[in-house]
Amino acid sequence: MTRIAVLVSGGGTNLQALIDSERAGKIPHGSIELVIASNEKAYALTRAENAGIAHAAIRRKDYADQDSYDAALVEALHVHDIDMVILAGFLSILGPRFIQSYPDRILNIHPSLIPSFCGKGFYGLKVHEAALAKGVKVTGATVHLVNEIPDGGRILLQKAVEVQDGDTPEILQRRVMEQAEWILLPKAAEMLAEKLEEEKQA
């Protein structure tokens, strides 16, 4: 079984989608063993507690530099024998030490069709504000592997979502979550978990 950690910063709606999918048997090769939040007030920690999953808050501001923050995150993952990491709305930057500790084993969900509206500075509502400002008729979500370029890793899955007349950034954000993010992320989690299980047994 591939042991999964989910890194979060806010409400944890994508985390909840993963928990629900695992319980429904849709991630048979993976098990969510740890949730780490970048702040102690993240509601995602409550979701983890309600689901009986180990959880912790590890804040960037408690560490002198990026490398020591990365080291603290990696240490927490090692304590729980984590095989794979999912970034589900994790807003803290991850440095080379962290990324190199889990090569091709970190998934991220981004609320647009990469390469549109992605990279540095594009997160949360800002992505949807940019899509609406540009006047695109179709947006969506992308799950990709994480490398050292923001939103630059290999794309695994994408799903398109229509932009509708009268959309606000908040309405569009919700539609992209419901129609794309909450579907794609569990699917990608199972894809990678299954691949890692096969590699272990090879």
Catalytic residues: 110
Token couple for 129: 């504000």
Token couple for 186: 């569990």
User: Could you tell me which residues are beta bridge partners of residue 56?
Assistant: 36
Which pairing describes strands 84-87 and 155-162: parallel, antiparallel, or unpaired?
unpaired
The runs of H, that is alpha helices, within 13-90 are: 13-23, 43-50, 66-79
Q: Which helix (H) or strand (E) holds 99?
A: helix 96-101
Q: Is the distance from CB of 176 to CB of 161 less than 8 angstroms?
A: yes
Smallest CA-to-CA distance from 111 within 183, 47, 58 is with: 183
With b meaning 16 or more CB within 10 Å and e meaning fewer, what string describes 125-156?
eebbbbbbeeeeeebbbbbbbbbeebbebeeb
Tell me: cis bond preceding 115? Omega within 30 of 0 counts: yes
